[in-house]
Amino acid sequence: MPHTKIPFTKMHGLGNNYIYLNCLDSIPENPEILAVKMSDRNFGIGSDGIVLILPSDQADFQMRMFNSDGSEAQMCGNAVRCVAKYLYDKSITALTTINLETKAGIKILNLKLTNNIVTEVSVDMGKPILEAKLIPTTSPEPKLINFPYEFMGEQFKINAVSMGNPHLVIFVPEISDRLVLELGPKIEHHKLFPERINVEFAHVIDRDNVEMRVWERGSGETQACGTGACAVAVAAALNNLTNREITIKLLGGNLAIKWLENDHVIMTGPAEFICDGFFYLQ
């Protein structure tokens, strides 16, 4: 049986790794199936999902992303930074400010260059969504901020925040494997969240620093999550646990998050190439 040869680039933002496909001239069929096959860490390339870089009639470029289980995600903060580096470092654009269309709206990417190579990207992630019904949740409460709730017999104070995709932030005295790996997937699929949810367990170090681990909807635990870091920063500020400009410490490294007075959240962090290659799809 003949194989389809698909060129790809693998990149990561703080260890949150995706496979990037240049779809400016043609779009692959069934990207949901392709995401599952390419992301498989035993029989594929191995990744948290795939990202399609596409033309846009609303912005400079467009991205669509699919998790490793084939589900489509609205946004990924680490992926948008990688898209910016991909476009500039591969000489597809000379723009150092890129408007990128996503399923969560148009994001503005500001590129920091060193020797004409992108080393860091700041992203205006837009305004957080706090209305419970818009996240969405099935709760009748208008907002779920520092809200008491029980999961699997344990009481928590939960914070539901959307950054274009849904997040549940839980502040804990200590982050453990049990919380992330056992409770995380159960919360992801809980009846409170009709479209599933990303789950962040966060520990406040001081008013300028927070550590977190994330269980991502459709991917499991990842090394970093940009939108999750933004959600944690917003929840921490709303609970008066931190200042509005903080460092989020993730397994893969640090992100700088600033919640501006105009309600927009700015995320700044790195993006890195891993490899280029070809995937042979049977």
Active site members: 76, 225
Judge residue 28's burial from the number of C-beta atoms within 10 Å of its C-beta, 0-12 exposed, 13-18 middle, 19 or more buried. middle
Q: Which phi and psi (to 5°) does residue 234 adopt?
A: -65, -45
For residue 226, which amino acid is it? Answer: G
- The label of the residue with tokens 């949810």 reads 197
Contact assessment for residue 236 and residue 249, using Cβ atoms and an 8 Å cutoff: no
Six token digits for residue 194? 């009709």
Q: What are the beta bridge partners of residue 8? A: 277
Instruction: State the CB neighbour count (10 A cutoff) for residue 34.
Output: 22
Q: Is the CB of residue 261 less than 8 Å from the CB of residue 229?
A: no
- The 8 Å CB, 24+ separation contacts for 130-134 are 130/160, 130/161, 130/162, 132/160, 134/162
Q: What is the dihedral of CA 71, 73, 77, 82, to 10 degrees?
A: 60
